[in-house]
Each structure stands twice: as C-alpha cells, then as structure tokens.
A and B are shown apart, each in its own frame.
Chain A
C-alpha cells in the first residue's frame, strides 16, 4: 500500500487560514470516510486532530477542520496561531485492516 501524498510544506501568517491536502486513491481515501489527521511537534508523539474526515476529538480547537472530495482529503487551519507550527500527517483506512499515512506537511507560521 503506497503512502498518501501531501505537500512537503505550507505556510501562513498569524490569523490567516491554510489548507493542507492529502491525496490517496480509490482504495483508501476515496473508498472510506476514515481519514484522520495528526499534529506532531518536534520530538513529540503525534496528536490526533481530526477523525472520520471531519470529527474533532475532545479538546481539539475547532479552528482545525477536515473535509474530503473524491480521493483527496484536506485539513484547514483557521486563525493560525504560533503554536500551530508543526508537522501534520494524514492517515486513511485502506481496507483489509490496514492503515496508510501521508508523508507529512511542515506548517510554518510566518
């Protein structure tokens, strides 16, 4: 199973919105509404930010939102804050009890 495709970098100024894409195939992102997003600060473990495409785990600010169209999922961060600077990874259930992740996007807050 191939990894999902994410842009290596994204950036925005404080207060702005930025969207990170995650492109898969009709066997993973396109087939299931089980896309998740993870935030990872340097030296830390990943943190779940979005699950089932657009749902928020408890405690995650709703500035983070998720969506999906066809084989591409997206994470939008609105009202960018300095602490949002991190790596973001998408993941998708890919059937046959397997999960695939994206290569990650480094978000820089300018």
Chain B
C-alpha cells in the first residue's frame, strides 16, 4: 500500500517562506511522478505543481498562481519530495496534499489520475 506523509506546514507571515516535505513508501519512488494539490478552507482542489521521475528528466510544471514563487525538488535516496514556497501570499493559505498516480497494464497515469494521497499539511499565511 502506498503511503504519503506530508510535513512542514505552519503559520507564516506574508512574504515569508516555508518548505513542505512529502515522504513516500510502498512504491518504487524513483519511478513515481509526485504532484502537489492544495485546498483552501471550504474550497475546491487546486493543482499546484508536479515533478517527474529522474529518468523523465525531473521535469517540473507549476500552476500559474505559484509559478516563480514555488519550487519542487526530489531526493530519491530519501523517498522525499519537497515543495519550497517563497514570497507567500494570504491566498496561499490551504491544506497542501502530495499525491501520485499509478501504473496499470503497462500504462501509467501520473498526470491525470491520483489514487494515493497524503493526509495533508496546513499552511496559513497571515500577519
């Protein structure tokens, strides 16, 4: 069973920085593409960004609202993905989930269907 555990959330002032971590187990981590999704209180899901596997070039993509401020990295030795968040804004306040897809019958769904999720870590940006 795939397990994802996020950490690093907390209260930060506008303009501040925070680094979230996601530790994974139960999967071949080096093959996995990891996505961050956030959910503001009482709101819907919002795709934040994704990092591909090393063999796929560790390509990163980001949603427009966070591009240039957030950065995703991975450490395959530690089965960990990090989300570095800089220049935080009040609108970044949300529960941040890491999530990943799956492979089935020779095909993989890394970017279009997320079947494993962490419990989330809360980020509050407020003065």
Taking Cβ atoms with an 8 Å cutoff, the residues of A that contact B are: 1, 3, 32, 34, 36, 38, 45-48, 51-52, 57, 89, 91-93, 96-104
Contacts and interface: CB of A to CB of B under 8 A. Distances in A.
A45 B35 CA distance: 14
Contacts of A46: 45, 97, 99, 114, 117
Nearest to A35: B112
Contact of A104 (B44, B61, B111, B115): B44
B119 interface: yes
B44 A101 contact: yes
Contacts of B102: 57
A76 to B, nearest CB: 18
Interface of B: 35, 37, 43-47, 50, 59, 61, 63-64, 97, 99, 102, 109, 111-115, 117-120
Contacts of A36: 112-114
A32 B115 CA distance: 19
Contacts, number: 72
A103 B44 contact: yes
Contact of A38 (B45, B50, B64, B111): B45
A45 B119 CA distance: 6
Given A34-B113, A98-B63, A99-B111, A45 B97 contact: yes
Contacts of B114: 36, 38, 46, 48, 91
Contacts of B61: 96-98
A51 B37 CA distance: 17
A77 to B, nearest CB: 19
Nearest to B35: A99
Contacts of B47: 91, 98-101
A3 B64 CA distance: 12
A100 B47 CA distance: 6
B44 A1 contact: no
A38 B44 CA distance: 11
A107 B102 CA distance: 27
B118 A45 contact: yes
